């Protein structure tokens, strides 16, 4: 009978050890999963900010080129003796700026759309990491429950062996 008790005690120890090891590994995996997801989210958010900055820069380039184009139009009209403040030349200059403003707005809109998409990916990455971490935590909890069941079984074996003595 003492061999049975010894085996049960060893089984209890093995159950506890196994449960602690699996729980620790699951906790580590959960932490790693969360950290990877957070890093991905930071990358997506940096990308979103970069897209916004590129949109602002490109819109500024469009504006600069439009002003240069309008200046060339005005200078050419003045050189040819056309009154620049009114009529066709003023209408052309206004149209150039209107089209440039439209191009600027489209550029900014497109950059913002890309940035918002990246922001959504960042949120998805965070949520995915949280879900995966929860799965790992649950696996760790299941291992602890199995360890407790192993301990209970071992205690039952010991109790049965001691009753027979």
Of 24-28, 82-86, 89-93, the least confident: 82-86
Binned at pLDDT 50, 70 and 90, residue 122 comes out as very high
Average pLDDT over residues 120-134: 95
What Å distances lie between residue 109 and 57, 105, 113, 137, 141, CA to CA? Answer: 13, 6, 6, 42, 48
The whole-number pLDDT of residue 165 equals 63
Rounded to 5 degrees, what are φ and ψ at 67? -65, -40
Average pLDDT over residues 103-129: 96
Query: Between the ranges 24-28, 50-54, 68-72, 136-140, where is the mean pLDDT highest?
Result: 50-54
The pTM of the full predicted model, rounded to 2 decimals, is 0.72
Quick check: 76 and 147 in contact, CB under 8 A?
no
pLDDT in tens, 44-90: 999 999 999 999 999 999 999 999 988 888 888 888 877 777 777 77
H-assigned helices in the chain: 2-79, 87-164
Quick check: 5 and 158 in contact, CB under 8 A?
yes
């Amino acid at each position: 009978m003492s061999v049975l008790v010894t085996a049960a005690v060893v089984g209890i120890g093995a159950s506890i050890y196994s449960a602690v090891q699996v729980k620790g590994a699951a906790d580590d995996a959960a932490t790693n999963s969360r950290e990877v997801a957070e890093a991905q989210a930071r990358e997506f958010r940096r990308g979103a900010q970069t897209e916004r900055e590129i949109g602002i820069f490109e819109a500024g380039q469009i504006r600069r080129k439009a002003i240069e184009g309008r200046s060339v139009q005005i200078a050419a009209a003045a050189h040819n003796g056309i009154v620049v403040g009114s009529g066709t030349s003023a209408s052309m200059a206004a149209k150039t700026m209107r089209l440039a403003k439209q191009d600027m707005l489209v550029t900014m809109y497109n950059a913002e759309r890309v940035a918002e998409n990246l922001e959504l990916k960042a949120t998805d990455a965070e949520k995915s990491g949280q879900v995966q971490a929860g799965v790992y935590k649950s696996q760790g909890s299941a291992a602890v429950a199995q360890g407790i069941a192993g301990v209970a079984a071992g205690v039952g074996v010991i109790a049965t062996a001691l009753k027979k003595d």
